[in-house]
Amino acid sequence: MVVISSVSCFTFTILASLFIFSYAQVPCSNYTFVSHQHFNSCIDLPHLDAHLHWTYFPSVNKVAIAYRAGQDPSGWIAWAINPTDTGMVGSQALVAFYDSNGSITTYTTPISSYSPSMQPGDLSFQVSNMSAEYTNNEMIIFAVLGPLNNQTNFNHAWQAGDTVSNNIPQMHTTTGPNVLSFGEIDFLSG
């Protein structure tokens, strides 16, 4: 999954030179966190201007992640793994947005239906060291997940929405990239 063929590299080079005057997209492997965190692996996700960075710690079955995605300050971002299913229901999600008090906030929320409350709640695994930041028009969620029950390969999904109301992320678009933003991730790869 992390393997990039020479064809797509070539295509990327052409696209990069075509769009050189608009925006130089930095591949995740070249990205430097302002707060100096380092992660061993990363993937540029195919939708929603999103990137996942991680370091897996096999001895404790934990993974440190940073999920970052382009977003306006008024919107929200989320990333989730689903340990039990392929769909949205069962997703164990991390969300971030600007709280109405003006600070960027992040918390965990389990998705148990297609109209989830999006209220803070515990996930099916431990999450620690959570923080969020807003840098260069991107929201970034940092967290340590696990222990992960000896599983490293997960269905994952990521999402974004334009509005937050009373500190609750509101419904995302249900067409286009917002319904394509899922896949599989193996924390042992990369």
Ligand X SMILES: *[C@@H]1O[C@H](CO)[C@@H](O)[C@H](O)[C@H]1NC(C)=O
Tokens linked to 63? 């993974």
Cα angle 155-25-130, degrees, rounded to a multiple of 5: 45
Separation of first and last alpha carbons in the chain: 9
Shortest CB 182 distance to ligand X, Å: 26
By CB under 6 A, the count of residues binding ligand X is: 13
Task: By CB under 6 A, tell whether 152 contacts ligand X.
Answer: no
Of the pair 103, 165, the CB lying nearest ligand X is at 103
Window contacting ligand X (CB under 6 A); options: 6-14, 44-52, 142-150, 172-180:
142-150
Q: Which of 22, 32, 103, 175 binds ligand X (CB under 6 A)?
A: 103
| Measured distance CA(135)–CA(20) in Å, rounded | 21
Shortest CB 31 distance to ligand X, Å: 9
Of the pair 27, 116, the CB lying nearest ligand X is at 27
Shortest CB 70 distance to ligand X, Å: 16
83 burial type by CB count under 10 A (0-12 exposed, 13-18 middle, 19+ buried) = middle
Q: 3-class DSSP state for residue 14?
A: helix
Enumerate residues 26-45 that contact ligand X by CB under 6 A. Answer: 26-27, 30
Of the pair 19, 176, the CB lying nearest ligand X is at 19
Q: What is the DSSP letter of 74?
A: T
Shortest CB 167 distance to ligand X, Å: 6
Of the pair 60, 180, the CB lying nearest ligand X is at 60
| Strand ranges for the chain from DSSP E | 41-44, 50-57, 62-70, 76-82, 92-98, 104-110, 127-135, 138-145, 153-161, 164-165, 168-169, 182-186
Query: From the CB of residue 26, how many other CB atoms can be counted at a distance below 10 Å?
Result: 12
Q: Which of 12, 31, 105, 172 binds ligand X (CB under 6 A)?
A: 105
Of the pair 16, 179, the CB lying nearest ligand X is at 16
- Residue ranges that bind ligand X, judged by CB under 6 A: 26-27, 30, 64, 99, 101, 103, 105, 128-129, 144, 149-150
